[in-house]
Chains A and B, each alone.
Chain A
């Protein structure tokens, strides 16, 4: 799972939202603030640089993005100053028009549909495979550390490098995969040229990239489950499946809920895999919300900053709703999160 900054910031934003809900102070806010400033001025001064930096690199773009989504800003009407040419901004406030356009048109909903399919299948597959591998590597098998090293490799290689490698493997005419297939007498598969195959292909690459993270996180969880529980269960005559079902799964809960949430948010916004492998193609078959938002803002001309930010805000809202529901469900099940 390549950790790219946008997804992190979204995760952070979602986290902040959650935290805000809980820490509600008591007493009149003004006096409390004054007192806290008087007693903790030193602490405030120390965190000021961090607050300023975060405000500049996260807060300003966020606020600006939200503002642009209520305007009709595009490449032709934003302010530009190029040497002798000074061009003032002429875009206007259009209210919720961008949002109604996005939510009533077929493009956003269609892209959202595939984004959900992509996220669910990627997260489910990485979780199941990561869990299986973690269980295998949790046993004492020969060469365990070598396997562990090798399974972390996809994570250690920069995301764009491995995605490019996959792109070469998938190439229909000169790619390694099709050469192997033709070697055993099979027809070439249009990995990235057929809309359906391209969907499978991008999911496969993302699963490949995502497994190490799942595996390492779950392996850590497995190792924190006390061995005595398994011994006791074995004494009571529980078979392997029962031990897995009743000891391993509950024991992994705190780890797996966290990695599932993180993995969902990352996959939802997994820009590099889609962009570098297919650029959203063929046609728009593999376009997810973030790659489409990027396209509005950087690939089409005139660049549509308003629509791009609208999609960005909608992605943020969707993920915040998802995190809130997820937290509520977990809390109902008695999980402290």
Chain B
């Protein structure tokens, strides 16, 4: 009897443990494709701005069911800043990963290199490949295969508040020297700050780096170029903008503070991209959409340059429902879907044919950004592309908060790159 109790207790205890360890294996349900009709669930991780862009994307994604009634689309919005890590966690452990992810252009080669993405050549995901803008398609290729479908393309420009500019009687600055004088005049006439410089995300630093003729790396000659004199000069430029009070910045919470300051009319300018347009229109200063002006980023001493960015849709290699995922990626990047997005959110399509549609052609923001994108600086599409920002982020913030000099900061970034990119000069 005693033995019986002990054994029962042991079995019961182990049973509880095992049940607890079992966990839930959610995600996609298995799909049957025997009949040729798509079914099952497609989970999509979107990274668009919550409150403005996400509604449009959610509706568009869920409308996929109208074409494929047996497929359920599960829309999940993951904050852009967390998505890269979250996806890597989920993809590596093999549980909880989405079927389709909105992958930023620099993440795509990295995810592909790690083996997380399904190659799309010859699948339903790619349709009319020739219609995609060449620039947009470049980031989807890795080692001769295509791993993603371009969804949107973007670059950056200066957003300005026309009312404040009129009040101060100034014109849009075209160079950094201009930017300083314009900011000083705005401060003098209206008491407002000229520019919000985003200090917690190095992506916003790129246009200053390109403006001095610098770049992070030179992929063709396998050379790290960040610590060239141009990089040092770019660090000096941003530091000077903050020190001279032409710009304000934050080391944390930069996106929210930037949008709030600009939307409430506390600053006259910000550097931003098309992804910020819908959110900006929601601000009280821009109830009249015509108040939002847009111009190319101010030029540095070597000219003018803004980074080319954008987002792709990639399919997780471990997806249990690949066929529906391919079809979903195709649907979301079709000319029709892109036109809807362009019209409602002013995001730039990646298909040439979309630009010919009337609604897209007459959108002011798209009309502005199209030529900017064409001239934008392409980043190297290497697997380490997504890794290049973290070292800059640390040093950029350190330079802005006076913890290091521009020279030491640029050198530290260069050293970190050489450690990251083996055998590069």
Residues of A within 8 A of B266 (CB): 173
Asked whether A173 lies within 8 Å of B251 as measured between CB atoms, the reply is no
Complex CA–CA separation, A114 to B100 (angstroms) = 42
- Beyond A83-B318, A171-B257, whether A303 also contacts B252 by CB under 8 A is no
- B253 close to chain A: CB less than 8 A: yes
CB pair B252 A279 closer than 8 Å: yes
Supposing A75-B88, A76-B114, A174-B260 touch, asked if A193 and B6 sit within 8 A by C-beta, the answer is: no
Q: Which residue of chain B has the shortest Cβ distance to A279 in the bound complex?
A: B252
A239 contact set on B, CB distance < 8 A? none
Interface string of A150-193 (1 = CB under 8 A from B): 00000000000000000100011110000000000000000011
Q: Quick one: given A192-B252, A283-B401, are A80 and B387 in contact (CB under 8 Å)?
A: no
B17 close to A46 (CB less than 8 A): no
Interface residues on B, range: 35 or more
* B253 close to A281 (CB less than 8 A): no
Within the complex, what minimum Cβ distance (angstroms) separates B419 from chain A? 10
CB pair B110–A301 under 8 Å, yes or no, is yes
Q: A195 at the A/B interface (Cβ < 8 Å)? A: yes
* Shortest distance from the beta carbon of B213 to any chain A beta carbon, whole Å: 26
Closest A-chain residue to B92, C-beta based?
A: A80
Q: B386 touching A301 by the CB < 8 A rule?
A: yes
The digit string for B91-123, where 1 denotes a CB below 8 A from any CB of A, is 110100000000000000010011110100000
- The secondary-structure label for the interface of chain A is loop
A45 pairs with B118, CB closer than 8 A: no
Q: Whole-angstrom distance from the CB of A50 to the nearest CB of chain B? A: 8
Partner of B252, one of A78, A174, A281, A300: A281
Contact A45/B250 with A81-B94, A283-B398 known, Cβ cut-off 8 Å? no
Given contact pairs A82-B116, A279-B252, A302-B387, A194 touches B257 in the complex (Cβ within 8 A):
no
Select one of A172, A282, A303 contacting B403, CB under 8 A.
Answer: A282
The smallest beta-carbon distance between B40 and chain A, in angstroms, is 15
Candidates A56, A81, A173, A298; contact of B85 at CB < 8 Å: A298
Q: Which residues of the other chain, A, contact B249 by a CB distance below 8 angstroms?
A: 193
Asked whether A282 and B14 contact (CB < 8 A) given A81-B94, A84-B317, A301-B387, the answer is: no
Chain A window 29-68, contacts with chain B (Cβ cutoff 8 Å), 1 for yes, 0 for no = 0000000000000100110110011001000000000000
Chain A residues lying within 8 Å of B94, measured Cβ to Cβ, are 81-82
Given A171-B253, A278-B252, A301-B386, decide whether A45 and B316 contact each other with a Cβ distance below 8 A: no
Is there an interface contact between A284 and B250, defined as CB atoms closer than 8 Å? no
Whether A281 contacts B115 in the complex (CB less than 8 A), given A83-B318, A171-B257, A173-B257, comes out as: no
Is B302 an interface residue, CB under 8 A from the partner? no
Shortest C-beta distance, B207 to chain A (Å), equals 22
**Which of B131-139, B214-222, B356-364, B389-397 faces chain A?**
B389-397
Q: Which partner residue on chain B sits nearest A298 by CB separation?
A: B85
Q: Looking at the assembled complex, report how far the CB atom of A11 sits from the nearest CB atom of chain B, in whole angstroms.
A: 23
Q: Are A83 and B118 in contact (CB under 8 A)?
A: yes
Q: Do residues A192 and B251 form an inter-chain contact, with CB atoms below 8 A?
A: yes
With most chain A CB atoms within 10 A of its CB, the pick from B17, B110, B398, B401 is B401
A299 at the interface (CB under 8 A from B): yes
CB–CB A49/B115 < 8 A = no
Shortest Cβ distance from A301 into chain B, in angstroms?
Answer: 4
- Which residues on B sit within 8 Å (CB–CB) of A46? 6, 9-10
Report whether B257 and A195 are in contact in the complex, using a CB–CB cutoff of 8 Å.
no
The reply to whether B316 and A195 form a contact with Cβ atoms under 8 Å apart is no
Q: Mark A6-17, 1 if CB is under 8 A from B, else 0.
A: 000000000000
B250 touches which of A193, A195, A301 (Cβ 8 Å): A193
Residue A85 at the chain B interface, CB threshold 8 Å? yes
Q: Assess whether A18 is interfacial by the CB under 8 Å rule.
A: no
Flag if A195 contacts B252 (CB, 8 Å): no
A82's contact among B252, B260, B317, B387, by CB below 8 Å, is which?
B317
User: A residues 81-129 with Cβ under 8 Å of B?
Assistant: 81-85, 87
Interfacial residues of chain B within 234-251, with CB under 8 A of chain A in the complex: 248-251
Q: Does B200 contact A (CB under 8 A)?
A: yes
Alpha-carbon distance A324/B168, docked complex (angstroms): 68
A194 near B401: Cβ-Cβ < 8 Å: yes
> Which listed residue (B6, B115, B250, B260) contacts A87, Cβ 8 A?
B115
Out of A173, A192, A284, A301, name the residue touching B260 (CB < 8 Å).
Answer: A173
Nearest residue, chain B, Cβ from A302: B387
> A88 to nearest B CB, angstroms?
11
Given the contacts A49-B17, A173-B257, A282 and B252 also touching, CB distance less than 8 Å? yes
Contact assessment for A82 and B318 in the assembled complex, using a CB-CB cutoff below 8 Å: yes
Residues on B with beta carbons closer than 8 Å to the beta carbon of A52: 14, 17
Q: What residue in chain A is nearest B395 (Cβ atoms)? A: A283
Q: Give bound CA distance, A82 to B390, whole Å.
A: 26
Asked if A48 and B10 sit within 8 Å, CB to CB, the answer is yes
- The answer to whether residues A45 and B10 also contact, given A82-B94, A281-B200, A281-B397 and a CB cut-off of 8 A, is yes
Q: Which of A190-219 contact B (CB under 8 A)?
A: 192-195, 198
Q: Write the nearest CB–CB distance from B330 to chain A, whole angstroms.
A: 19
Q: Is A137 an interface residue (CB 8 A)?
A: no
Kindly state whether residue B164 has any CB partner on chain A within 8 Å: no
Residues of B within 8 A of A262 (CB): none
**Is there a chain A Cβ closer than 8 Å to B129's Cβ?**
no
Offer 15 A-B interface pairs, CB within 8 angstroms, sorted by A: A46-B10, A49-B13, A52-B14, A80-B115, A82-B92, A82-B94, A82-B317, A85-B115, A85-B317, A87-B115, A173-B260, A173-B266, A195-B402, A282-B401, A302-B387
Q: A84-B317, A282-B252 are in contact. List 10 more A-B contacts (CB 8 A).
A: A42-B2, A49-B10, A49-B14, A76-B113, A80-B115, A84-B118, A195-B401, A298-B89, A301-B84, A301-B387
Interface residues of B (CB under 8 A from A): 2, 6, 9-10, 13-14, 17, 21, 84-85, 88-89, 91-92, 94, 110, 113-116, 118, 200, 248-253, 257, 260-261, 266, 316-319, 322, 384, 386-387, 390, 394-395, 397-398, 400-404
